[in-house]
Amino acid sequence: MLQVKNITFSYDKNEVIKNINFSVNKGQNFAIIGESGCGKSTLLKLIYGLYDLDQGQIFWNENEVLGPKFHLIPGMPYMKYLAQDFDLMPYITVAENVGKYLSNIYSEIKQNRINELLEIVEMTEYSNVKAKFLSGGQQQRVALAKVLALEPEVLLLDEPFSQIDNFRKNSLRRKLFSYLKSKEITCLVATHDSSDSLSFADETIVLNNGNLVIKEKSIQLYKHPINKYVASLYGDVNELKLSQLVEIDGEDETILLFPHQLKITESGIFKVKVVHSFFKGSHYLIQSEANNNVIFFEHNCELKINSEVLLSHIK
């Protein structure tokens, strides 16, 4: 188990990680999400041991993670950390980068391991190409293979798919996270992409300005966001009064709804005026307006600008 116990860290006088406490079970895929500058990358670096904590402790099983004050070479040997700069050697081949830390004693075993990892990241055909000739996305895939070469107990990934084309990203994610599960490798992913959290993470934590907002199972976090900040990390969100959607007596509750949770119906009581229609492939995202508030909902076809429609809440 990875245990992060009430850690605080600052680069100068300003705290960027503030009394954060959580744990991750062995073999879990764990997502860290939040807006830019909230502390995601710093948290990964602290878990790896690249910085010394101001307060608190970090443990992997019974081993305490210690920073540069205690290690000549920062970083824990049973962990691997993939930063956003990839750390590849430009003048050696893809295969040589991936196998850099593998033993040369059994060359056939080493080559089989390199081939296995290149297949996972879909870079087999570039095995003999020097890293400097690769695109940013290709370098990122090679870097992923490289950090897996010695099969760590804990893998820390900082925006691991940020430069990879969408058509390849989905396939790569499925292969990578399936592999990590099969090997029971604990993985923490700092990401802006909600798919990394929703489709692959067992649990997710949300950071905001260095604070831990919530730790929850990923599906529950999406279905029941505790506030608009959390909901907005998954896309457009509407903040509405319940009385706008249903006829109620008593206290008027504020609710958060994603665009797919609103639908045009003849019996709807919530009237909006259409401002714009955005084609999304399988549907249109409709931007509308009501009482000077912007409301987003989904529809199966484009709607005429300035037309008025009635909306209902889909539960």
* Owner of token pair 């007596």: 249
Q: What is the pLDDT of residues 167-176, one digit of tens each?
A: 888 889 999 9
**Model-level pTM?**
0.90
* Tens digit of each residue's pLDDT (9 = 90 or more) over 54-85: 999 999 998 899 989 888 788 888 999 998 88
Looking at residue 23, what is its pLDDT? 95
Tell me the pLDDT tens digit for each residue of 131-157.
999 998 999 999 999 999 888 999 999
Helices (H), 121-266: 136-148, 166-182, 194-198, 218-223, 228-232
- Reduced to 3 states (helix: H, G, I; strand: E, B; else coil), residue 187 is strand
4/195 Cα distance (integer angstroms) = 25
Interval 209-220: pLDDT, tens: 999 999 999 999
Asked if residues 74 and 117 have their Cβ atoms less than 8 Å apart, the reply is no
Give the mean pLDDT of 242-264: 76
The pLDDT of residue 45 = 95
Q: Using the predicted structure, report yes or no on whether residue 195 has a pLDDT greater than 90.
A: no
Give percent of the chain above pLDDT 90. Answer: 68
First-to-last CA distance in the chain?
37
